[in-house]
Structure 1
Amino acid sequence: MFVSAFLAATILPLSSELVFTTLALNGSSALVLLVVASTGNVLGSIVNYVLGFRFGQLAATKLLRVSHATFMWAEVMYKKWGKWSLLLAWVPIIGDPLTLLAGTLRTRFWFFLLIVGISKTARYAALLFFITH
């Protein structure tokens, strides 16, 4: 579960929900599953943050193949909506670039970790709730 959640949070186009759901339905401890999945997913987001912090726009344009215009638009939107947009870090497609952009724009790491941790854990908790009820 950890590896699946970790890789799903990086810029790789992967998803961890199938592994999470399968394990939840086959008797894995809900609490252990929640902690392992959330930890892996947050650590994967930290990889994106570090890539953005170290390589900035180059990481977005070369690794994610984002056009310069799209990157500039994303930067304007991030600055407009602020660091609170990281609450959407769990959302497929936009979450990974958001975490990379947070590093690029030098969002304070403690804030990044707190908000992304809440966001990712809440998503897995909601998924667990819907699977088991």
Structure 2
Amino acid sequence: MNKTSEILSVPWIRSSLILGGMLAAVGVALILVFKLLNLGSSPFFTDLKALVMKYGLAGIFIVTILAGTIVPVGSPALVVAAASFGVHPVPLTIVATTGFTVGMIINYVLAYGLGRPFVIKKLGMERLEEISALWNRWGWIIYVLFGIIPVLPVEFLALFCGLIKAQFGRFIVLSFIPRLIVFAFLSYFGTQLGWWLEIM
């Protein structure tokens, strides 16, 4: 079995990729419906834009900290939406990446300090064993891969890194850089989407 099929054989990774693909398809369909029905000027979008602008980068920072932990908040969708509503992509990318990295550090520190019982409570024994097997085979490569693909739960790996007391400096760099790349792309995409949907 090659390494790629080994990763895809893990049920929660496969289901994350399938769910991500389905959500992306639904997202594209909704974007097309919004464009066809010219919903960009509807009260819903006007109110949503006002909410994003009211809380701005501080709100994005707090939400992305939560997204970096186990709290299921869609940080990629948040970045696209904020950019679509006119939040400048450069500070948006930096703030979202920093917030997400802080959330990952929280996971690392909790697992480092509270140990195996805490991680098993959060992940379950089966998932922990699967992550351990992937880590033993791939090491930091799997961490970067999970960081670059938004639908993969890199937050689980942050817990694992804390549990095994992985080198903290490398952990921070490899938490920050992949998400910086992803959020930069999503900010650019969101900006273009905002112009296309006429909601900026």
Q: TM-score, normalised on structure 2?
A: 0.60
For the residue of structure 1 that corresponds to 2:139, the secondary structure is helix
Deviations 1:99-120 (A, max 9, x none): 1101111110000011111011
1:9 and 2:68 matched? yes
Alignment partners' CA distance in 2, 1:132 and 1:24: 5
Deviations 1:34-59 (A, max 9, x none): 11111100000001111221123222
Alignment partners' CA distance in 1, 2:81 and 2:113: 36
Equivalent residue number for residue 142 of structure 2: 85
Deviation of the 1:12 alpha carbon: 1.2
Q: What is the correspondence of 1:115-130 to structure 2 with a 5 Å cutoff? A: 115-130=174-189
Deviation of the 1:9 alpha carbon: 0.9
Equivalent residue number for residue 41 of structure 1: 100
Equivalent residue number for residue 110 of structure 1: 169
Deviation of the 1:70 alpha carbon: 2.8
Q: What is the correspondence of 1:90-105 to structure 2 with a 5 Å cutoff? A: 90=148, 91-105=150-164
Q: TM-score, normalised on structure 1?
A: 0.88
Alignment partners' CA distance in 1, 2:147 and 2:134: 14
**Larger of the two Rg values belongs to structure:** 2
CA contact (8 A) 1:89 1:99 kept: no
Q: How high is the sequence identity, in percent, across the aligned residues? A: 27
Deviation of the 1:74 alpha carbon: 1.5
Alignment partners' CA distance in 1, 2:128 and 2:167: 20
- Greater CA drift, 119-128 or 11-20: 11-20
Deviation of the 1:126 alpha carbon: 1.4
Equivalent residue number for residue 77 of structure 2: 18
Structure 1 gap ranges (5+): none
Alignment partners' CA distance in 2, 1:92 and 1:99: 15
- Which of 62, 65, 89 is the equivalent residue of 1:30? 89
Structure 2 gap ranges (5+): 1-59, 193-200
Deviation of the 1:20 alpha carbon: 1.9
Deviation of the 1:93 alpha carbon: 4.6
